[in-house]
Chains A and B, each alone.
Chain A
Amino acid sequence: MKIRTAKYIVKEGILNVYKNKLMSLASIGIIIASLLLFGIFLLIVLNLDHNTRALESIPQLEVFCNYNLDETLVGDVEQAIREDERISEYRMVTKKEAFNKLKEKFEGNEDILEGYDESFLPVSFIIKLKDPRDSNEIKEKFENMSKVESVECPQRSIELISKASSWIKVISGILIAILLVISIFIISNTIKLTVFARRKEISIMKYIGATDWFIRWPFIVEGVIIGIIGAVVALILSGYGYRALELRLGNDIVSVSMGFFEMLKFRDVVLVLVLFYSFLGAVVGAIGSVVALRKHLRV
């Protein structure tokens, strides 16, 4: 293809989007809706994946003492751990360490922690077991100690999350496929209307010897422009939505200090979103155009 032909094609495609404003807007709306739904699933999957991996790097059990224990009472707990033969190693997390860790989590908005110090946090012990099958018994044993507040067992969360995330992946895969087909169908129908309005023009072009691709390209450009505009709007909306969620969950001290769920930062997911949205938007737009034109090129 020559550059001047490419120029003609791009110009024609942009003009088409503009001339069929209403149709274009309808198509853009549909693309935004499908991309947003798609984005929600993608973000859930990404976050679940991130958390499974994060949890896998955490030791097997963490015993939290009551936060108001003095040092001798903490020593009692430590002794109980040391004496248990099923435990291979352990490490104490002091109040200071716990507080520093918390500060790390709030990096960027440390002001949330203002007015707090380490005293409200418990001392904890991270313990590794010789045999992971003992984890239930050990959990029970320490939970029954009056000096122990709770025993966290990330192992279980890992299993739960990874099970959930594989299901969510399957379900979202299916839903995304359905969404793609539906949006291609709807886009191709809107473009069909513009094709129909221009069917005379198309047949004239065929009579004077235009190739199918020469006729097709401007419509593809039209579809891709619609898809990209939809992708940009969907990206902005997802950005705002994610930020809002991030702030709500992130500010919740309890959920973070439990270390149960850590949301990915928006800047970590934005690239994936940009790639997926623009690719899907463009592909849906282009396929929609080609499908719409199929019938009208046979002259």
Chain B
Amino acid sequence: MVEFRNVTKRYSNGTVALKNINLKIDKGEFVFVIGPSGSGKSTLLKLIMKEETPTEGDVFVNGYEVSAMDMYDVPYLRRSLGIVFQDFRLLPNKTVYENVAFAMQITEALPKEIRRQVPMALALVGLSKKANAYPAQLSGGEQQRVALARALVNNPPLLIADEPTGNLDPETSMEIMRLLCEINHRGTTVIVATHEKSIVDMLKKRVVALDKGVLARDQQKGIYTNEDKNSQIYS
């Protein structure tokens, strides 16, 4: 589903954000990407959605060879991804319903399909009642759920979230993470970059830890802190 082969990313200013990363994520997995600030988590996700291109190595996503992809194909790659950000990124002048419907509109979906899928996505995130509200009228947690509904409405096989709970209080964060787990249970592969130690520790999912651009740990049913008592890197 997602594969990194010897991937190095050097930004134009010389910063090396990722060093020789090898990583394979299979269909149906739930993966936390963790690491201190500046360790390269966002860069890793940006390589998946082709916002950045690797300096060396290859990236494969949903059957696309993303690293060698033509610019014209990027929109179609992104339609096969659901993307969620820390700052929600909703269109302020569209209602909740319109925001979600818009993701289908740009794929030229049939109006009939849109009318069927959008309420389903809103129901999944528990926001059916707020369909006609504008983003400014919603709480942060609700806005992030709208963003999730939008990410899911086209039924993408892969969902990518970069610190989806970064702007939310712990309780709301937990709700969003539960929602991500439920989405994962329905068969969607989920990759989440996060700093939420307590949640990572509680959910016991696969953990990919980055440190200064190096893949420091890749552990099934991992927790936030390295269990190796001799090297307490992240505490």
Contact = CB atoms under 8 A, between A and B. Distances in A.
B108 A208 contact: no
Contacts of B83: 207-208
Interface residues of A, number: 19
Given A204-B89, A207-B83, A2 B75 contact: no
A8 B85 CA distance: 26
Contact of A211 (B75, B89, B91): B75
Contacts of A208: 78-79, 83, 102-103, 106, 150
B205 to A, nearest CB: 24
B42 to A, nearest CB: 13
Contacts of B49: 207
B108 A209 contact: no
A214 B78 contact: no
B106 A4 contact: no
A80 interface: no
B47 to A, nearest CB: 14
A5 B114 CA distance: 13
A83 to B, nearest CB: 84
Nearest to B85: A207
A205 B94 CA distance: 13
B107 interface: yes
A299 B89 CA distance: 14
A2, A201, A204, A212, most chain B CB atoms within 10 A? A204
B51 interface: yes
A59 to B, nearest CB: 66
Contacts of A178: none
B86 interface: no
Interface in B54-103: 72, 75-79, 81, 83, 85, 89-91, 102-103
Interface string A61-83: 00000000000000000000000
A209 B107 contact: yes
Given A4-B111, A299-B51, A207 B78 contact: yes
Contacts of A212: 75
Contacts of A200: 89
Contacts of B103: 208-209
* Pairs of residues from A and B, 6 with the lowest C-beta to C-beta distance, nearest first: A209-B79, A209-B78, A210-B106, A211-B75, A209-B75, A208-B103
Given A211-B106, A299-B51, 11 more contacts: A5-B105, A5-B108, A200-B89, A204-B89, A207-B83, A208-B78, A208-B106, A209-B79, A209-B81, A209-B154, A212-B75
